[in-house]
Amino acid sequence: MARYMSANQGILLQNGIFIALGSNLPGPWGSPEETLQRAVRELASCGVEIEKTSRLYRTKAHSEVEQPDFVNAVASVNSSMPADALLRVLKRIEAQAGRFLTVKHHHADHRWAPRPLDLDIVSYKSLVRNWLRGHPVRDAKLTLPHPRAHERAFVLRPLMDVAPRWHHPVLGLTAAALLARPTVRDTGAILDVDGLLVEMNSRRYSKDITSPRTEA
């Protein structure tokens, strides 16, 4: 029997915000796994409501330079802040995790440099921004949906955990359909799967949870 998505489920996916998290270097917040967990707490402390998190995926770095494997995940979140404001929050959290200090010293092309934390908006309430004729505009400050998420297994596979019925706002395909395309399979090959990024004891991860205190 065919299963259909309810109107409410469709609205939730249409209004959903999905954030990709990645790390392949230890930093001030600990190991890559600990850094991703801390990043979720930081998001919550900024008023971003965490709806659901994926499992942790260990993936091979997609780079010509030898570097450690990545730990990747995706979080489904809710926020009233505009996309540009959310991006600023993500960049601030990356900086707190030591992102820009490490990237500057490792690789000329920062997209493929190892880093303690990488946070990207995969999709923001199905908003389409800086796409033209089915392709992302080059060098835009913020492109929605993310200009390369549809090509990256390390984003698509955890996205399937949190939103299996989500459709790419431009391409119209689910994460599973995008992942099945031959051009995607070798992009950041998934090596292993671990537990959930965050053990959700309630339906939502409370925005009142604050980051652990550090000694002065």
Write out the catalytic residue numbers. Answer: 99, 115, 118, 120
Contact 82, 75 (CB under 8 A): no
User: Pick from 181, 126, 128, 120: which is nearest to 150 by CA?
Assistant: 181
Q: Rounded CA gap, 46 and 133, in Å?
A: 35
DSSP 149: G
Q: b/e map of 112-138 (b: 16 or more CB within 10 Å)?
A: bbbbbbbbbbbbbebeeeebeeeebee
Tokens 């051009």 belong to which residue? Answer: 183
Q: Give the helix/strand (H/E) hosting 159.
A: helix 153-162
Rounded-to-10 torsion of CA 87, 91, 97, 99: 130
Q: Rounded CA gap, 84 and 116, in Å?
A: 23
